Homo-oligomer: A and B are copies of this chain.
Amino acid sequence: MHKEDQAVDAATTIDRTFEKAGRTTTLGELETPCLILDAERMDRNIARLRGRLDPFGVSLRPHLKTAKSVEVARRVMTSPAGPATVSTLKEAAQFAAAGVRDIIYAVGIAPSKLARVLELRAEGVDIAVVLDTVEQAEAVAAASRAAGVRIPALIEVDCDGHRSGVLPTDAARLVEIGHALARDAELRGVITHAGGSYAARGAEALRQCAEAERRGVVDAAAILRNAGLPCPVVSVGSTPTAHYATDLTGVTEVRAGVFIFFDLVMAGVGVCRIEDIAISVLATVIGHQHDKGWILIDAGWMAMSQDRGTSKQAVNQGYGLVCDIAGNAYADLIVADANQEHGIIMVRPGSGAVLPDLAIGDRVRILPNHACATGAQHRRYHVVHGTSDVVEAEWLRFGGW
């Protein structure tokens, strides 16, 4: 483990309460740009999805790639030991160090990564891998044989053609992969992700995405079981489908990550309201170009990310939607352009909105297009509750692989 990672480990679980001369830190005192987390909104978002899934009798395996924070993970996981989903082995190692014991690494496994998977398993972490080829299954089987253990693997199913996975109609390949795993490794089940749901619009389209997602894995599971293979886990997940599924028959667990914070893309899809978005970037006004109707801030793409996910939606939010320091959005005020450390605020073209009177040194909060991408640009969350300006804690987040 690298030196700086160890330092992060040591500090990750510490809630640092700010005390300066006997008083707490406020949003007006933080160095900008920085990442703000409204824990009130986050808690509400978590309760909403839990409340939605409970009647289905499925377990929630939150995807921690959005949060990358032990403190957030503990608030969203069913127990301190998990279950959890991760997108990198760095996430797996960090959360394992914090006590998580039930992890799916949900990106197709590269054979060279199996050594790290085995290390985690040797430490008592039940980490399962994901794959969609016979070559990967054979590599997992060979690594299992060599180590004298059975690495669990889930077969990825392609439910909507957006990325990776075996088609649920490709019975021959599913069964071949299943047999390759079952001999020397462990066939844990099937997994899919309805990534295509991000491009869907409207409740009915989202319900159809959810049903296609369910159908894909349930069909694949039936093929495996009919071939005499085990398939205990049937895993689906995306934030839109988790919120719109009306039937989860045959599904054992749901994965989702963005739902914890939500973002402008999810609001554009219709899965949340603007008022539900729990993270924002605090920025300071550093200039104006009055003739052009521009307000310049010290949050550019380094602080916001270059995610332009709303540019293909009905409402293009630029690099983010501008709020006052209490987190209330201004009407049609967006970060229309960004350089590395400069953001250019404008009213949305054609909206007729009025540019607010923001002076040099004033502070704003910018809601992100994509919580995963904006979060990744920061090393810590500054935690507030609702419209209070008191920074109650600082939670570290990590990056890298």
Residues of chain A touching chain B, judged by Cβ–Cβ distance below 8 Å, are 2-4, 6-8, 10-11, 31-34, 65, 87-89, 107-113, 116, 132-133, 135-136, 139, 158, 163-164, 195, 284-289, 296, 298, 301-303, 305-308, 339-342, 344, 359-361, 372-373, 376-380, 396, 399-401
Inter-chain CA distance A301–B195, complex, in Å, is: 15
Taking A378-B400, A400-B379 as contacts, is the C-beta distance between A286 and B108 under 8 angstroms? Answer: yes
Given B11, B158, B401, which contacts A31 in the complex, CB threshold below 8 Å?
B401
Question: Are B4's CB and A107's CB within 8 A?
Answer: no
A33 engages B401 (CB within 8 Å):
yes
Could you name 29 residue pairs across A and B whose Cβ atoms are closer than 8 Å? Answer: A2-B11, A2-B379, A3-B10, A4-B8, A31-B89, A31-B112, A33-B401, A65-B341, A87-B340, A88-B341, A107-B298, A108-B298, A108-B342, A110-B298, A111-B360, A111-B361, A112-B284, A112-B361, A135-B359, A135-B361, A136-B286, A136-B287, A139-B360, A163-B342, A195-B339, A305-B306, A306-B373, A377-B399, A378-B400
Q: Which residue in chain B gives the minimum CB-CB distance to A107?
A: B341
Find out whether the CB atom of A342 lies under 8 angstroms from the CB atom of B164: yes
Residue in contact with A7 in the complex, picked from B4, B113, B286, B287, CB distance below 8 Å: B4
Smallest CB separation, A29 vs chain B (Å): 8
Q: A377 to B136: give the CA distance in the assembly, Å.
A: 28
**Which residues of B are found within 8 Å of A342, using beta-carbon distances?**
107-108, 163-164
Query: With A111-B360, A302-B376 in contact, do A340 and B65 touch (Cβ < 8 Å)?
Result: yes
Residues in B with CB closer than 8 Å to A296 are 108, 163-164
Q: Which chain B positions have C-beta within 8 A of A139?
A: 360-361
Q: How far is the CA of A380 from the CA of B399 in the complex (A)?
A: 12
| A376 → chain B closest CB, angstroms | 6
Nearest Cβ in chain B — how far from A199, in angstroms?
Answer: 12
Which 3 A-B pairs rank lowest in CB-CB distance, beginning with the nearest? A7-B7, A108-B286, A306-B306
